[in-house]
Structures are given as structure tokens and as C-alpha cells.
Amino acid sequence: MASKKGAIAQIISDQWDNIIARCNTYQIRVLHAIKSCRTATLGGQLYLCNKCHKNHVRYNSCGNRHCPSCQNTERLKWIDDRQNQFIETKYFHVVFTIPDSLNALCLSNQRVMYKILFQCAWETLNGFGWNKKFLGAQIGATMVLHTWGSNLSYHPHVHCIVPGGGISIKNKWKQANGKGKYLFPVKAMSTVFREKFKDALKQVGLKTNCRVQKKAFEKEWVVYAKPAFRNKEILIKYLARYTYKTAITSSRIKQYDKYQVRFSYTDYKHRNQGKTMSLSTWEFARRFTMHILPKGFIRIRHFGILHSSWKMKLFPTSKKSSKDYKTIWLEKGFDVDKCPNCKKGKLVFIGEIHATRGPPNNTSNYENRHSL
């Protein structure tokens, strides 16, 4: 079996005929970007070390939000921007999940169902926030849509990061009840969330199987709330992990070939045990494709006092980071200009590599013309 580096791109390449035959146009475009990421297909740049005079090629990344190899710099920028937008209070992690009996309806109506999921989750939180029994103030939430389980199964849910308080009508901060141990009662939130979702489905007029609908709305729904975060650093890193990640990364893939993929996952139903799963290569690709979001759909949303209009009032001096990617990575201990070969020299840009072609076959010409 092949090594796991670049595994997902290679798996997609191996299944390209199946993808062309079974996926829609937008999914094909996304998967083509992922399999082309950091390859000669997208072009790149040629560099020369000023010490050892060795050539180095850096191919362009695809920049697609579904790509497991991209967005590392964007994640670090996002963390940097959040440092100055933190309310000095405890934060809570709340997860809103819909039952798997509605999965087929979600898959065939993704844009509508995901919008309803966001809408009902926020309406539930906001309603409990304004309830004087629990708080009586305007709360806020950062919500992130996830559609996957650890084993790549289809599992639509939203993660909500909620400050433990809000802004009262008198424009003063009001701390939530519960002394930081809990935000709102989860059983009550579960019931309200279920009823709001049921009403929202009726309003949009989606046709559902009566038996499926009965099964979905007769049983209890699950709203899960985790304990408060201990400090700002843990919160921001946790948020970044959820906002810049799609389904699976190549690091979780143990082995793969043209016929089978073996990858690690966490079994949350059995005490978070680490396990390994084997899937046929096409089944792996099919599951990955299920988590491609509709074109232009925003999966990270801010509500209430964490919405941009409120942030201008709460954090008037906060500005987006102006650091370039080199500075960001240097602060993390990685010098992008250092030669990976001799570890002493600096890489000097000497030419573009045009898309759909690789580096020049004879790189000695570059050495002769640009040696330093």
C-alpha cells in the first residue's frame, strides 16, 4: 500500500472515472482542485538556495475550502484575529444534532436543511438567553456546520461556542446563572429545538415521508453541552480546529491502494476509543464527497453579540491581522525562506512555473544563470 502523504488527492485520482460518472459538476470541480493541489497542474515557483545552489520547486495550492492540505495559513490568521475579540467570561460548547432518520432529506436538500439547522439552533439559544429565568440578555454564538462523523458517515450538526453571559437591555454585561458549570438546561433546549425544526420544515414545504417524519419527531432530540473552557488560548485553538477542517486529513489515513483505504477514527459511542476502519476506495471517495457543501454556502456564522455589527461596539480597537504568511509562520518557528536541503541558505525566487506543466527538465540552466 502507498504512504499516507497526499493520500486523499491520490485516492480521488484513482477514482476519477467513478467521480465523473456519479458526481455533479460542482463536486467534480472541487475534487479536481483537491487532486491538483500542490502539483504541476496548478503551476508554481522555482527557487534557488544562495548557499548550496540547489533548486527547489513549490507548487501552488488549490485554496479550496474542502481541501485537507490547504488553509493552514488562514487558520493561523484566524487565531491571530480572535486574540483581540475575546470576552472575559467562561465559554460553553453546545452541539445541535438532528436525527439520522432525516439524513436522506438533508442530502437531497442540503442548502435548505443546513439553513434551517443554523436558524433553529440560534433561535433556541437566543430564546433561552432572553428568558429572565436563565439570563435575560442578548447572548452571542459562533456556529460551525459539520456534516461528518469521525468515520466519514453523514452526520449534520452545528457546533456553537457561546459566551457565558450577554448584554442586558440597560446595555450592561450580565453573567449567566449556573456559576460557570452550565449555560442552559439541555433537555429543555432539546425539546424547543425539535419543535422549531418541525415548524421550519412545514414552512419551507419540503415533502417528507410521513413514517420518516413521525419517527424523527416522536423521539427525543439531542442537544449536547460541554463544560466551560478554562482560558482564552484553549478556546481559540479549539475554535480553529473546528473552523478549518473538512471531514478527514491525510494524517489519519494508515494505508491505501487502488482497492482499499484504512484510516483511524474515534468511536464516540464506546468511550471515545481509537479504532481503525477499512473501506473500499470508492466508498471512501463517496463518503468524502457527501461533505462538499453547496456552492457559496457559509459554514461559519456569528450571531448576537458575536455578529460583526456588535463586535464593532464590543471591540472598537480590534483590527484584522496585517501580517503576511512569512511572518505568521516565522512566529511559529518555521522560516519559509530557509533552504530545506542545507538548512543554512535562503531560497531566492528565480521564475514562475506555468500551470499544466512541471519544472524545467534541465534545471542546470537556472543554476548557471541565477547562481549567487
Distances (CA, A) of 237 to 72, 76, 150, 231: 13, 9, 19, 10
Q: Do residues 3 and 150 share a domain?
A: no
Give residue 358's pLDDT.
Answer: 43
In a domain, 198, yes or no: yes
Domain that holds residue 111: 72-247+292-314
Q: Do residues 64 and 93 share a domain?
A: no
Cα–Cα distance between 265 and 183 in angstroms, integer? 30
Cα–Cα distance between 299 and 110 in angstroms, integer? 12
Distances (CA, A) of 103 to 108, 270, 279, 368: 9, 22, 21, 61
Give residue 316's pLDDT.
Answer: 66
Average pLDDT for runs of 10 along the chain of length 372? 72 95 95 93 95 94 90 81 80 93 93 97 97 94 92 94 93 85 90 95 81 82 82 74 80 92 90 92 96 94 91 70 77 89 94 70 37 28
Backbone angles phi, psi at 23, to 5 degrees: -105, 160
Give residue 184's pLDDT.
Answer: 92
In a domain, 330, yes or no: no
Q: Do residues 114 and 225 share a domain?
A: yes
In a domain, 174, yes or no: yes
First to last CA, the chain: 42
Q: Do residues 91 and 185 share a domain?
A: yes
Hey, is 13 helix, strand or coil? Answer: helix
Q: Do residues 56 and 121 share a domain?
A: no
In a domain, 324, yes or no: no
In a domain, 254, yes or no: no
Number of separate domains in the chain: 2
In a domain, 218, yes or no: yes
Distances (CA, A) of 30 to 63, 291, 319: 10, 11, 32
Q: Do residues 28 and 96 share a domain?
A: no
The answer to whether 228 and 164 have CB atoms below 8 angstroms apart is yes
